[in-house]
Amino acid sequence: MAGHRTLRRPGLLERERSDGPASLSEAGRLALEHGEVLVPEEGIWRLYVVDDPLVPIPLVHASRLESEPVYKERNAMRDARKRGDKRVQPDRIPEMLRRCAGAPVAVSKQDGHLFQLVEVAVQGAMGPSSELRLTLDWSDEAVLRLSGQLPHDDQVARHKPMDAVLDLPAALANLTYEAMWKRLAAVALRLHPSELDRWQAQAGRPVVPVPFHSLPPAARHSLLHDLEVPASEWSALGRFDPTVLKAAPVVPPTAADAQDWLEWLQWESIDDYVLPRGLEQKGRELAARFPQHRPQPLTTIDLLIKARAERDPRAWFLLAPSDLGLWS
Domain-by-domain residue ranges, the chain? 2-131, 177-251, 255-323
Contact between residue 14 and residue 23 where contact means Cβ atoms under 8 Å apart:
yes
Residue-wise pLDDT for 234-263, tens only, equals 888 889 999 999 999 999 999 999 999 999
Lowest-confidence range among 213-222, 235-244, 281-290? Answer: 235-244
Cα gap 179→196, rounded to integer Å: 11
Residue-wise pLDDT for 89-120, tens only, equals 567 778 888 888 877 777 888 887 877 788 88
Host H or E run for residue 45: strand 41-49
| Main-chain phi, psi angles of 22, to 5 degrees | -95, 145
Contact between residue 50 and residue 146 where contact means Cβ atoms under 8 Å apart:
yes
Cα gap 239→281, rounded to integer Å: 50
Q: Name the amino acid, one letter, at 175.
A: L
24 CB contacts (<8 Å, ≥6 apart)? 12, 13, 14, 32
Q: Is the pTM of this model over 0.85?
A: no
Cα gap 285→252, rounded to integer Å: 17
Q: Give the pLDDT of residue 4.
A: 38
